[in-house]
Amino acid sequence: MTDGIRTILKDESAQVSYLDRGRRRAADLRHEQGAGAGAAELVLRTLPGWSLSCDEELGRALLAAGARLTRHGHVYQWDLIAVPPEPSWRTPRLAQGLTLLPVAAVPAPQLDPVVLAAYPVGHPDHPPAREGALPHGERELVETFRGLWTGELAGPPLPGSAAVCGEDGPVAAVVVSATTAGPWITQLLRLPGPRTAGLGTALLRRVLAVAADGGAPSIGLTVTEGNPARARYERIGFRRSTGRMDLTAP
């Protein structure tokens, strides 16, 4: 049954709830009542083959019950009230020949080369190869980014989302999406190389300034275990608040 936008699963030993994102994806899975092992068994019995997203405690119980870990993420947040961004961050200084453009001005397919270059084979966010997919999961990478850029996966991108383009096309992009926890930076990527050095930080800071201007009390992001960008987020000023796990039910 459903409770507002949350779906409730319940049996004699446990109760859990989640947000149904379609395509057999259960987001923000919460252990409401009962033992962790009972909650994990209930989820795996009810949602076979689904993609699951939950906190670390429930995630460990799901792993023990037979689920497969696809991502262990660390949740970072910035308190925009306690630590207001610098006003100058709203207008980043870009190298000559680079232009900041809104989402609507850049078709999603034009960003495919940036996506693939930002997440090469061996990167913690590069998905494993699957039968029928392009080599090493490139199709999954591209389709996920396109879905966020167009709004198909998480609703229309929020203000602050943008691309940086040169004469030869896009070189960097950031996507901010609406979530139950507030605005969330769901993608931040750039082409590797000296030409784009510093663009990730500049786009990130611009997002903070735009979110603060819009009245958001905080903004968050999730970075995968093993991603070297984690150190950059901490250096800029983001603080870790919790952990999340993405899993696949058998």
pLDDT band at 47 (very low <50, low <70, confident <90, very high): very high
Residues 32 and 106 in one domain: no
On the 0-12 / 13-18 / 19+ scale of CB atoms within 10 A, 135 is: exposed
Residues 95 and 183 in one domain: yes
For residue 133, pLDDT over 80 is answered with: no
pLDDT score of 248: 96
Q: 249 lies in a domain?
A: no
Q: 49 lies in a domain?
A: yes
For residue 199, pLDDT over 90 is answered with: yes
Q: How is residue 226 written in tokens?
A: 């093993």
pLDDT score of 137: 64
pLDDT score of 3: 41
Residues 149 and 194 in one domain: yes
Q: 111 lies in a domain?
A: yes
Residues 103 and 43 in one domain: no
- Of the candidates 161, 132, 167, the one whose C-alpha atom is nearest the C-alpha of residue 148 is 161
Mean pLDDT of 208-235: 95
Between CA 60 and CA 247 the distance in angstroms is 10
Residues 106 and 173 in one domain: yes
pLDDT digits (tens, 9 = 90+) for 200-217: 999 999 999 999 999 999
- Of the candidates 11, 13, 12, 39, the one whose C-alpha atom is nearest the C-alpha of residue 26 is 39
Residues 107 and 220 in one domain: yes
Residues 157 and 92 in one domain: yes
Q: 162 lies in a domain?
A: yes
Residues 82 and 134 in one domain: yes
CA distances from 22 to 68, 74, 89, 155 (A): 20, 24, 36, 13
Q: Is 179 helix (H, G, I), strand (E, B) or coil?
A: strand
Domain span at 142:
76-243
Percent of the chain with pLDDT over 70: 94
CATH number, residue 85: 3.40.630.30
Percent of the chain with pLDDT over 90: 79
pLDDT score of 2: 39
Between CA 102 and CA 183 the distance in angstroms is 17
Q: 57 lies in a domain?
A: yes
pLDDT score of 13: 87
